[in-house]
Structures are given as C-alpha cells and as structure tokens.
Amino acid sequence: MTKNYIEWKSNYSNNFVSMNKLEQLDVDIKTVEQVIQKYPMKLNSYYLNLIKKKNDPIWKQCIPDLKELTDTRGDTDPLKEDQYSPVQGLVHRYPDRVLLLVSNKCAMYCRFCTRKRNVGKKYTSISEGNFKKAIKYIESHKEIRDVIISGGDPLLLDDARLENYIKNVRKINHVEIIRIDSRIPCTFPQRITLDLCNMLKKYPPIYFLTHFNHPREVTEEAKNACEMLVESGVVMGNQSVLLKGVNDDSKTLMKLNHELLKCRVRPYYLYIPDAVCGTAHFCVSIEKALKIMEEMFGFTSGLAVPRLIIDLVDGGGKIPLCPNSIVERVDNKYIFKNFEGKKFTYNEN
C-alpha cells in the first residue's frame, strides 16, 4: 500500500464529526438523532468547517433537518431507476449510455440526495458476480458508447478496485467514453491523490463530472483537486442541484460557475431537485428556475451557464428547460426577445 493511500484513508476515517462537535455549533442534537434514524448522516470536519453560521448554504446541505421527516409528498424512487435496471447495479434508461452504480457510500450524505433511499443505508457495493453480468450486458449491447461510473461515490473505493472497473469497461471496443460521477472534489478533496490521477491517466478519454453547489465550496483544496484531475487528462464538468436557500439566485450561481471555470471545470447541468421523499424543503419552482436562467444567459460567458434539467417522475427522463425567447411567430416571421428584453424580428426564407 502506498503512502498516498494510507494518507487519504486515515484522513477519511479520522475526520468524521461527532455529536459533541455538532453541539458546539448549536445544532439541535435531539432533532439530528431523530432524523438520522431514517436518513443517516455523514459529515467530515473538512466540509463542516465551511459552515460560517447556522442555516447557511453549507449547513443546509449537510445538517439533518426535521423537515426531512414531515415531507408527505414524493416517492422514494421517482426516476424509476430500479425499473430500468437489467442487471443489479446497472441502469439502462437511454439508448447509448448506461449508469454503473458501484457503491452506495459517499464521503458525505447530502440532505437533498436523489438516492436518499440507498445512500448510507446498509453498505453495498457491486458484487463481483453482478459486475461480471454488467460487463456482459454492455458487451452484448453494441449501442452503448458511454458508461457512467456512479454510486454513491465511486471514489470511496480504493484505487485498485476502481481501476479494475475502469479497465474492464475500457476493454469493450464499442465503449467510446467513460464518465466518473463523484462529489469527492467538493466534499473530500484530500481523496484526489497523485496515485489516483496517475491511474486515471491510463484510460482516456475519461469525463469527470463533479458536483459543487455553492461558491464557498470552491476552496483552495477543492481547486487543487480539480487542477490535479485536469492535469491527469480528464475533462471536468460540474452538475449542480438548484436548492432553495442554497443557490437559488443567479448571483450565487454565476459566482460558483466563474470559480469553477477558473480551475477548468465546465458547468454542465443544473438540476431542478427531484421529487424525492424527504427533500421537499429544497424545492425551487420551475418558474423561478427559468427566471434565474434568464438572468444568466447573455449576461455572462456561455461557458458559465449550465443547462437547466428536470428529471421527470415515473422515469420520463431528463428534459432540458430553456427560457422562451420566441415572443411571436407569424408564418416565416419570428419575433425574438434578446437578453436585454429588446425585441427583434427575424424572417426565415
């Protein structure tokens, strides 16, 4: 075992936050104890130290809230991922790409998580048998050209195990790209080691989609982790969730996206929160979300504007949402509204 490995492992294991520490922060321990019976908590000192005051955007993402228990709405699996799973651990919902769910562990349990039904519950990672079945399935479906390694967080596996998964997927000729979905650069950047980067370097092209929601999460450590990944040749993208009281205003989102672009992470998707039981207090309306998009388009670099996505209930899939810029259409004449609200006519031949 290398020094790198021992360091991230011991850092990971020694930094969980105790109830004592939470009490000092004025967290209501009784509430926490009640909530975590249903939805577990995991929190490390690195992320906890980003909190500046009670109920701030960092707090809301990681401290259990009584509202999680009073949410009467919602399904535990609105995306019907379990229904689109031909092999345990594999989700095949779209024609040319699959999700490979390798473990249900994360460095932190985000209170708004879509996979709240799984994460933090009894630990499961994909068994060797199921992994083999998943590989067979991908091999026999020539249309699959994009394999997304996700979880939980795949980076909580050690390098050797992760490499074994990547290597076996890479061997399949028709798989063109591999994606890794991980919130680790944001919640536990110490995990991004040189060993890991040197391993990833061997299997291009890899797209690495991470998950930052607030500019205060883009710390020196996080920036460094992203830079190291970029240096290893992966292409970095970010998926945020639009969360009430966390980042539901254009100013915060633009600041976040500018910080990410500075460390070569390109904003990819901005999700309307899924209708998952226990997360209603994070909901942002579609109307508000579209307004936020309008306040960004044209006002900042296109690179800093992610695509707004709603993932429909009952497994309808992802739908891109865009503010409507066509005000009127008469035959081949269109009237557009530009980002400043001015109207322009366009005649199509």
Ligand X SMILES: *Cc1c(COP(=O)(O)O)cnc(C)c1O
Residues that are catalytic: 93-94, 97, 106, 110, 113, 115, 274, 311, 318
CA distance 19 to 25: 10
Minimum CB distance to ligand X smaller for 117 or for 318: 318
Minimum CB distance to ligand SF4 smaller for 110 or for 162: 110
CA distance 283 to 186: 22
DSSP secondary structure letter of residue 263: T
CA distance 206 to 90: 19
Answer for which of 35, 99, 110, 246 binds ligand SF4 (CB under 6 A) is: 110
Span interacting with ligand SF4, options 84-92, 110-118, 282-290, 317-325, rule CB under 6 A: 110-118
How many other C-beta atoms lie within 10 A of the C-beta of residue 221?
A: 15
Binding-residue pattern over the window 162 to 201 for ligand SF4, x denoting contact by CB under 6 A: ---------------------x------------------
Q: In the range 147-166, which residues lie near ligand X by CB under 6 A?
A: 148
Answer for which of 92, 93, 115, 223 binds ligand SF4 (CB under 6 A) is: 115
> Which residue is listed with tokens 């110490």?
190
Q: In the range 299-338, which residues lie near ligand X by CB under 6 A?
A: 318
Beta partners for residue 16, in sequence order: 44
Answer for which of 64, 78, 152, 278 binds ligand SF4 (CB under 6 A) is: 152
Residue 71 CA neighbour count, 13 Å, CB half: 23
State the nearest-atom distance from the C-beta of 42 to ligand SF4, in Å: 8
Q: SS3 of 49, please?
A: coil
Which partner in ligand X, ligand SF4, none is near 91 (CB below 5 to 8 A by kind)? ligand X
Minimum CB distance to ligand X smaller for 57 or for 78: 78
Q: In the range 52-111, which residues lie near ligand X by CB under 6 A?
A: 91, 93-94, 97, 99
Minimum CB distance to ligand SF4 smaller for 183 or for 214: 183
* H-only helix segments in the chain: 3-14, 19-24, 29-38, 45-48, 57-62, 67-70, 128-140, 159-170, 184-187, 194-200, 220-231, 250-262, 286-294
Minimum CB distance to ligand X smaller for 293 or for 309: 309
Answer for which of 101, 113, 149, 304 binds ligand SF4 (CB under 6 A) is: 113
Q: Cα dist. 321→113, 231, 308, 309 in Å?
A: 21, 33, 5, 6
Beta partners for residue 271, in sequence order: 241, 309
Q: Is 137 in the site for ligand X (CB under 6 A)?
A: no
Burial 4-41 (b: 16+ CB within 10 A, else e): eeeebeeeeeebebeeeebeeeebeeeebeebeeebeb
Which partner in ligand SF4, ligand X, none is near 113 (CB below 5 to 8 A by kind)? ligand SF4
Residues of this chain that bind ligand SF4 (CB under 6 A): 106, 109-110, 113, 115, 119, 152-153, 183, 211
Residues of this chain that bind ligand X (CB under 6 A): 91, 93-94, 97, 99, 148, 318
